[in-house]
A and B are shown apart, each in its own frame.
Chain A
C-alpha cells in the first residue's frame, strides 16, 4: 500500500497511522451531546420545573408535618358530660405531642352548638345522646383524628363511670393490659415513609431512563434523517459515535438524577422524617451506582432504537420495547413487596430500583447489592455488545424501519 499523500500546504494534522486517527472522537461526540442538551431551552426549563416541583412537594410535606391543626368542638354548656369529654380529648391530643389541638367552645344550648358548626365557628359538636350514647356532628363526615381523640375520651369517661357504678376502678379493670411500643432500629422508617421513598426511587429511574433514553434515540435519528451520520461515519468509526452518545446521555441522566436526589435529601433533612436521612443517603448512593450501570445498557438499546428508525416518526415504533421495559420496571418496583421484591432485586434493570429499595428497608445484607450489581454489569456488557453490532448494522441503512434481526445480520 502506498503511504497516504499529504498536501504540502496542509498544516492541519500530522500524518496519521491508518485507521486510528479517530480514537478520541467519542470525547467530541460526548461533549456535543452534553452541550447541546444543556443549551436546549426545553430541557433546561423542564429540569428547573422538575426541581421546583420536588422542592415545592418537600416544602408542602414539611409544612404539613409541622403545622398545628386545631379543631374546635362546640358543646352545650348544660351538657357537662360532653364538656368533660371534649376537655379530656384536648388533654389527650396535647399528651400525644402531635400537631393536633382541640379547643372547647361552650355555647348556651344545643341549637347554638348546631349553629356554631353550621356557621363554621366550630368544626364539630359533641352531645350526649338521648338513648345513653354520644353524637359527634360536623358539616360533613367528622375529621378522623378528631373522632379518634373524642372517641377515646368518651370511652374512658364512660368506662370510668361504669366502673365506679360497679364498685371498682378503671385502674383495676385495665391492670396488666398496658401495651408499650419500642423501636428496635431507631433509623428504620415507617411503612408509609418506605412506600414514598420506594416510589421516589422508581420515579427517579422512570424519569431519568425515559427522558434520557429518548434523548439519545432522537439524537441518533436526527443524524440519520439528515444524513449527517454519513459524513460522521466517514470521519470516525461508528463505535466511537455510539460510545460518545451513550456517555453523553449518561452524564446528563446521572447528573439530572443527582440533582433531583440532592434536592430531595435536603428536603428530607428539613422535614420531620430527617431521622431517615442516613438510611436514605445509603440507599440513594446505591441507586446512583445501579442507575449509572443500568443506564449504559438502556442508552445503548435506545441508541439502536434510534438507528432502526429512518425518520423521527418511526421512533415511537422502534422504541416501544424500551418504553415497555422502563414502564414495567417503574410499576413493578414501586408496587412489589416481599419475595417478589427480593426476586426483582436481582433481575437486571429492575434491580436498579428494587435493590436500593431493599437496602433502604434494611432487608438486604451487605453482599446482596454487590452481587446484584455484578449481574447488572454483566447484562450491561452483553447489551452493549449486541447494541453495538445492531447499531452498526442499521445506522447507515436508509429507507423505512429496520428490524433487530436485519440489523444484526447486516454486514455493515
Chain B
C-alpha cells in the first residue's frame, strides 16, 4: 500500500538541528540510515501558561527516530504538560509541535502511542476487549486489533488472562496492558509519561525489550521518568527540564563530559595533605583515598609529583559524574 508516500514525506530529509543549536555545546547525534518508518518529533518554543504560571516556558527539543529519549525533571518541571501538548490533549499557549518538520495534525496524532500519567483502564472490562476497543478507535480493523492484542498479551505472559477483568490483574500486569494499548497498530511515535513507575525490574526489562523493537523500526520514543539510573541505562538521549525550561539536552555521554570531572587519588599513606596543594580542591578525603577536583592539567601534574614524593601512588583516575550528579548540578 501507499508506497509512493514513503519518500515524499520529510522523513528522509535531514536538517541542521534547530533545537540542538540552542543547547549547551552538545554534538548533534549522528544520523544513521535506517529502514522503516522514521520520523522525528520535535517541539519548538512550546509554552503553556496557567494564569500567571508559565508551566512550560519556551521548550524546544527533538525526539529522533529510532531513539529512546528520556525526559527528566522534578515534579512540576513541566514534563507532563509538555507531553500533553505534544499529544494535543492540552491547549498550546504558544509554540508548535512538528512531525518531520511539519506541524503535527490530528490524523498524525491518531497514529501515536500515548501513555498518560496516573493512568488506568476500564476496571470491569476484559483486558483483550479494551485493547481492541482502543485500537479500533485509532482506526485499526477489529480482526487485526484482536490478533495484535493477543500477540502482545501472550508475549507479556498474559495470554491466559486476556479475558479477565482488568481489576483482577496485579498492578504490574495492568501496566503491561496499558503499554500494550500504546503499542498497538505500529505507532509512528511513542509518548510515554512515567511508563516504568511502579514496575519491578523484570517488568521493566520486558517493556524495554518491547520499546526497543519499536525504536528498531525507526520510531521516536519519548518517555519521562524519575528513575535516573534507568534513564541512564536506557536512553540514547536525554532532555532535562527545570521550572518549565530545558536545562540540558544530549546523549548521556555528552552530558557527562560537560559535568565536572573529578579524580580519585589512592595513596600508600594518609591523603590529608592534598588539601594544601594549590589548584586542587579536595571534595572528600577518607584515609588513604581522596576525591579531588583539579583546576587544570598543571594542577594534576603538581598533585601527582607531590604524591610520588611522599610515597606510593596506587591510583590517580578520572571519575565520570553519574547522571544523578549531573541532574543535581543542572537542576540546582
Contacts and interface: CB of A to CB of B under 8 A. Distances in A.
Contact of A231 (B39, B91, B181): B181
A232 B190 CA distance: 15
A29 to B, nearest CB: 8
Interface in B108-136: 108-112, 114, 116-125, 133-134, 136
B139 interface: yes
A18 interface: yes
A10 B144 CA distance: 11
B222 interface: no
B313 interface: no
Interface in A28-49: 28-29, 32, 36, 40
Contacts of A15: 2, 5
A2 B105 CA distance: 11
Contacts of B84: 230
A226 B121 contact: yes
B141 A12 contact: yes
Nearest to B182: A231
B116 A230 contact: yes
B139 A13 contact: yes
B209 to A, nearest CB: 19
Contact of A18 (B11, B105, B116, B136): B105
A21 interface: yes
A237 B106 CA distance: 9
Interface string B170-187: 000000000001100110
Interface stretch (B22-30, B95-103, B241-249): B95-103
Interface in B9-25: 9-11
Contacts of A180: none
Contact of A228 (B39, B108, B122, B140): B122
Contacts of A22: 110, 137, 139
A9 B136 CA distance: 19
B105 A21 contact: no
A148 interface: no
Contacts of A28: 133, 136-137
A193 B111 CA distance: 60
Contacts of A6: 1-2, 5-6, 37
Given A5-B6, A10-B37, A13-B141, A230 B89 contact: yes
A11 interface: yes
Given A4-B105, A5-B5, A227-B117, A12 B136 contact: no
Given A12-B185, A230-B89, A235 B137 contact: yes
B119 A4 contact: no
A227 B217 CA distance: 28
A233 B91 CA distance: 13
B263 interface: no
A138 B107 CA distance: 84
A23 to B, nearest CB: 10
B287 interface: no
Contacts of A230: 84, 87, 89, 114, 116, 119
B76 interface: no
B88 A234 contact: yes
Given A4-B9, A21-B139, A234 B2 contact: no
Contacts, number: 144
Contacts of A40: 124
B33 interface: no
A8 B1 CA distance: 7
Nearest to A13: B139
A11 B186 CA distance: 10
B90 A396 contact: yes
Given A13-B140, A396-B90, A232 B134 contact: yes
A12 B186 contact: yes
B137 A236 contact: yes
A16 B3 CA distance: 14
B262 interface: no
Nearest to B109: A234
Contacts of A32: 133
A187 interface: no
A18 B99 CA distance: 14
B120 A227 contact: yes
A interface bracket (residues with beta carbon within 8 Å of B): 35 or more
A381 to B, nearest CB: 26
A14 interface: yes
Given A15-B5, A16-B139, A9 B87 contact: no
A138 B236 CA distance: 97
Query: Taking each of A1, A18, A36, A233, which has the highest tally of chain B beta carbons within 10 Å of its own beta carbon?
Result: A233
A78 to B, nearest CB: 77
B188 interface: yes
B311 interface: no
A175 interface: no
B9 A3 contact: yes
A22 B107 CA distance: 9
Contact of B88 (A10, A12, A36, A233): A233
B110 A7 contact: no
B135 to A, nearest CB: 9
A245 to B, nearest CB: 13
A141 interface: no
A17 B106 CA distance: 10
B116 A227 contact: yes
Interface string A232-260: 11111100000000000000000000000
Nearest to B5: A6
Given A1-B102, A11-B1, A228 B188 contact: no
Contacts of A4: 5, 9, 99, 105, 107-108, 111
B276 interface: no
Contacts of A12: 139-141, 144, 185-186
Nearest to A32: B133
A4 B105 CA distance: 9
Contact of B8 (A2, A16, A232): A2
A22 B185 CA distance: 15
Contact of A5 (B88, B100, B114, B133): B100
Given A227-B119, A234-B87, 5 more contacts: A4-B108, A17-B107, A21-B110, A223-B122, A230-B114
Interface of A: 1-19, 21-22, 25, 28-29, 32, 36, 40, 222-223, 225-228, 230-237, 396, 411-412
A-B CB proximity, top 8 nearest: A226-B120, A5-B9, A7-B37, A227-B116, A235-B137, A230-B116, A412-B91, A2-B102
14 contacts: A4-B99, A5-B37, A6-B1, A12-B140, A32-B133, A226-B119, A228-B120, A230-B87, A230-B116, A230-B119, A236-B137, A396-B90, A411-B91, A412-B91
